[in-house]
Amino acid sequence: MINASVPDGEFFLGQVHKELFGYHEKNLTAAGEAEKVRDISPLFAVLSYWDVQSLGFGGGVHSTRIGQIPGQQVPVLALQPFEGLPIFVANEAFGSLRDRDGSFTSAPHGAHGWAETSLVMAEEVLTSHFNVPPPTWLESTIYAKYVKFPNGTALVV
């Protein structure tokens, strides 16, 4: 917990607010809210970091169970588990992290455990099944490499 009632917490929260305000200032100005938001400062924040080394209930990180489906295909096949039915899955438990080159992780059976795997699956559902265009605020090269599922999402099992 980061608290503004102590000097280091106040400094940290001030820096976070300054950066977030700078990022959103143009839109806040256009909405006539910039001056109102400029001087608002958060009183506290909670910072949470989960990974396989975190204490507790596994740190919220797990791997896809070993089975007949190759780990890299799990997110693709889980996206619409019942062919022809408009039921879609966007859940980190069925997603997969990406390697630095943008491919689904090469870790055995897909490591996952972060919100971005849910967001990537949701984005894939929106673009591939509902023709929603990719967000304009994200560079197309980053989107293509780390968000969009690889070409040929109908992988053979």
Q: What are phi and psi of 22, to 5 degrees?
A: -60, -40
0.95 surpassed by pTM: no
Q: Give the residue among 29, 30, 48 at the shortest CA–CA distance from 38.
A: 29
Rg (CA), the chain: 20
Q: Give the residue among 151, 58, 35 at the shortest CA–CA distance from 102.
A: 151
Residue 13, pLDDT score: 94
Residue 19, pLDDT score: 93
Measure the CA–CA gap between 73 and 110, rounded to whole angstroms. 9
Residue 7, pLDDT score: 94
Residue 73, pLDDT score: 77
**Cβ proximity of 109 and 66 under 8 Å:** yes
pLDDT in tens, the chain (157 residues): 899 999 999 999 999 999 999 999 999 999 998 998 998 888 998 876 666 566 655 555 566 666 787 767 778 888 888 988 989 988 877 777 677 777 776 554 445 666 778 888 898 889 888 889 998 999 999 888 888 887 544 433 3
Domain boundaries along the sequence of the chain: 2-45, 58-147
Burial classification of residue 83, based on how many CB atoms lie within 10 Å of its CB (0-12 exposed, 13-18 middle, 19 or more buried): exposed
Measure the CA–CA gap between 29 and 38, rounded to whole angstroms. 10
**Cβ proximity of 145 and 121 under 8 Å:** no
3-class DSSP state of 62: strand
